[in-house]
Amino acid sequence: MMDAGLSLGDHRDVVQSMMAAGAPFGDVETFVNEAAALDQDEKAALWLLAWSLREGWVQRREAHAMLSALAWGPSPG
């Protein structure tokens, strides 16, 4: 999806629509990351919005998975 000419509010609306439609979170992240017209703070805010629209149990599962991965550290190799 191209973002030419989209304002921050337009991007917000797209993120909310994608989440409401059940789009995979990775697709929403890609949309946010490819929003070339936005600065990093605006992208971070959009990502946080998308994250907040996930169900609580999904947020917790992802947080625990990341914490577990960090606790194990990098694989020896």
pTM for this predicted structure: 0.76
pLDDT averages per 10-residue partition of the chain, 77 residues: 76 96 95 92 95 90 90 72
State both tokens at 24: 């995979």
pLDDT of residue 45: 96
CB 15 within 8 A of CB 50: yes
CB 28 within 8 A of CB 50: yes
Domain ranges for the chain: 8-72
Count of positions (residues) in the chain: 77
pLDDT of residue 34: 92
pLDDT of residue 3: 57
pLDDT of residue 59: 87
